[in-house]
Amino acid sequence: QNPVKARVLIKMNSSRSAADFVRNLHDNPQQWLHLPDSQLLLYSQPPEVQRQGSSNVELRFVVPENSARLLLERLAKTDAAEVATGY
Q: What is the pLDDT confidence band of residue 83, given thresholds at 50, 70 and 90?
A: low
pLDDT digits (tens, 9 = 90+) for 11-66: 999 999 999 999 999 999 999 999 999 999 999 999 999 998 889 999 999 999 99
Using 50, 70 and 90 to split pLDDT, how confident is the model at 81? low
Name the residue ranges covered by the structural domains of the chain.
Answer: 4-85
User: Are 22 and 51 contacting, i.e. CB atoms less than 8 angstroms apart?
Assistant: yes
Under the banding of pLDDT at 50, 70 and 90, the label for residue 87 is very low
Residue 49: what pLDDT?
96
Q: How confident is the model at residue 2 (pLDDT cuts 50, 70, 90)?
A: confident
Assess whether pLDDT exceeds 90 at residue 79.
Answer: no
CATH number of this structure's domain 4-85: 3.30.1360
Instruction: Name 26's Cβ contacts closer than 8 Å, sequence gap at least 6.
Output: 46, 49
Q: Rounded distance, CA 21 to CA 54, Å?
A: 13
Q: Calculate mean pLDDT across residues 66-76.
A: 92
